[in-house]
């Protein structure tokens, strides 16, 4: 038995009472299951919820168990033949921006260049708002209008874009012009087959000045060198470079993570940019000197560690360009005014500021490439 407790774009937030009387928070995607009304009987998938995974705080509605509508009451098939989450019980059939039925097919059929558009690549979905905040701050400081930003969501994390409250809030606030979901991900303003076609759609269809590429929320890691979904960040650098963009690599940095492999420059960034990326990118290295007075000696040590570990990326065969950028105190203050609450791996801006500083300076650098 379900009751509605809230909603955002593409999502119903529910409280479901189980047969035994216990109550479970759940999410429903009306585009997949139809609207759930108060009192409806629903079937839940609670696997991630029961394991207590970081982004698994909800069970998911698989479908309603009430009788189906009578013949003829179903909506007619929508256009499009892209099947995402393919051949699973909850597969979604969507209209791809690049497929033959799309009004944009002719535009994208032979498209092959991003003409130097800055493309910021990051490992974690939580970097997205900080990257956009940094770009908007740099534009304001330079007396320029805020950039038109498109978000390309890859399928390393959540598949439905609707799962992300961050995307919904940034879109409502005007910080994102559009989301393009690619690969097995779906639910964006535009759907694309590959990262390559998503990047082209972001530029040519959305008209983005700047593109951000990250996986959806709920990244996967195993504590091994190669077993993490963020390896796709290196592949995104290659895709952007292949299409003539200006790839910008945002480092995953932390001064508060208890896991040694993620303190300083995360091993995810070292592997994705140092081993997977075969094309050069601007690797933006945050420097904390300007904000050090607000912190203790530990921050100074972290600053030196990040610089040393970043230097190793500059020695890889990809030929990355290291771009050191001081974290301006005004930029740090700007992060506190983002329309979404900043959080990464359960830590807030106050608890792990360096994670968001690293993303923000990448956004600021990308903004300054637009007219540079």
pLDDT of residue 183: 96
Bigger pLDDT: 48 vs 70: 48
CATH 3.40.50 fits 106-370, yes or no: yes
Examine the pLDDT at 1 and tell me if it is beyond 60: no
The Cα 156–Cα 159 span in angstroms is: 8
User: What share of the chain has pLDDT > 70, as a percent?
Assistant: 94
CA 13 distance to own-chain centroid: 21
Examine the pLDDT at 78 and tell me if it is beyond 80: no
pLDDT of residue 74: 53
- Kindly report the CA angle at 350 between 249 and 231, in degrees rounded to 5? 25
Boundaries of every domain in the chain: 2-64, 106-370
Q: Which DSSP string corresponds to 35-57?
A: PPPTT--EEEE-HHHHHT-TT--
Bigger pLDDT: 294 vs 1: 294
């Amino acid at each position: 038995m379900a009751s509605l407790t809230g909603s955002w774009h593409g999502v119903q937030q529910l409280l479901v009472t189980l047969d035994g009387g216990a109550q479970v928070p759940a999410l429903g995607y009306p585009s997949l299951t139809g609207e759930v009304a108060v009192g409806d009987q629903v079937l839940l998938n609670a696997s991630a919820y029961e394991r207590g995974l970081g982004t698994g705080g909800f069970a998911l509605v698989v479908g309603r168990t009430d009788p189906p509508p009578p013949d003829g009451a179903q909506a007619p098939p929508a256009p499009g033949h892209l099947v995402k989450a393919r051949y699973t019980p909850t597969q979604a059939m969507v209209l791809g921006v690049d497929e033959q039925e799309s009004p944009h097919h002719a535009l994208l059929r032979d498209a092959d260049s991003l003409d130097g558009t800055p493309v910021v690549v990051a490992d974690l979905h939580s970097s997205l708002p900080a990257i956009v905040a940094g770009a908007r701050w740099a534009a304001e400081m330079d007396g320029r209008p805020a950039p038109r930003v498109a978000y390309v969501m890859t399928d390393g994390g959540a598949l439905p874009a609707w799962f992300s409250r961050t995307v919904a809030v940034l879109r409502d606030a005007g910080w994102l012009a559009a989301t393009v979901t690619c690969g097995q991900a779906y639910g964006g303003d535009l759907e694309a087959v590959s990262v390559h076609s998503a990047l082209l759609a972001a530029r040519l269809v959305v008209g983005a000045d700047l593109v951000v590429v990250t996986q959806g929320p709920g990244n996967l890691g195993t504590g091994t060198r190669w077993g993490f979904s963020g390896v796709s960040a290196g592949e995104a650098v290659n895709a952007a470079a292949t299409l003539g963009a200006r790839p910008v690599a945002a480092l995953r940095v932390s001064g508060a993570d208890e896991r040694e492999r993620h303190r300083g420059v995360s091993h995810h960034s070292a592997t994705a940019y140092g081993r997977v990326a075969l094309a050069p990118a601007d690797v933006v290295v945050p420097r904390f000197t300007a904000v050090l007075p607000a912190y203790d000696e530990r921050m100074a040590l972290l600053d030196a560690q990040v610089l040393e570990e970043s230097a190793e990326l500059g020695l890889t065969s990809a030929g990355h360009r290291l771009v050191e950028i001081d974290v301006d105190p005004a930029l740090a203050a700007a992060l506190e005014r983002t329309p979404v609450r900043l959080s990464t791996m359960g830590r807030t801006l106050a608890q792990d500021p360096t994670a968001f500083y690293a993303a923000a300076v990448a956004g600021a650098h990308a903004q300054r490439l637009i007219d540079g």
